[in-house]
Amino acid sequence: MKLELVRIGNSRGIRIPKPIIDQLGFENSVDVRIERDRLVIAPARLPRQGWKEAFEAAGSSEGDELLLDSAAPNDFDREEWEW
């Protein structure tokens, strides 16, 4: 579908037809980003939306090694750092 750019003050914009808005689930705001040479307009998401599911999919952290606890002290730790 080809859309014309319309003047909006000093900017330019597009009008998105209602059937497309309904199909994509757009409400009062959208997320806009550039990927490569494309403008991507997506339904707005809540901050951290989907994080819970991602953490659950990652599995249990039981048995994970804490890397900072196993790192040996360096010169900065021994000579410069003050508590």
> From CA 30, how far away is CA 22, in angstroms rounded?
13
Q: How confident is the model at residue 75 (pLDDT cuts 50, 70, 90)?
A: confident
Q: How confident is the model at residue 82 (pLDDT cuts 50, 70, 90)?
A: confident
Q: For each of the domains in the chain, give its residue range(s) and CATH number, in order of start.
A: 1-46 (2.10.260.10)
Average pLDDT (32-56) is 91
The beta strands (E) that lie in the chain are given as: 6-8, 11-13, 30-35, 38-43
pTM of this prediction? 0.52
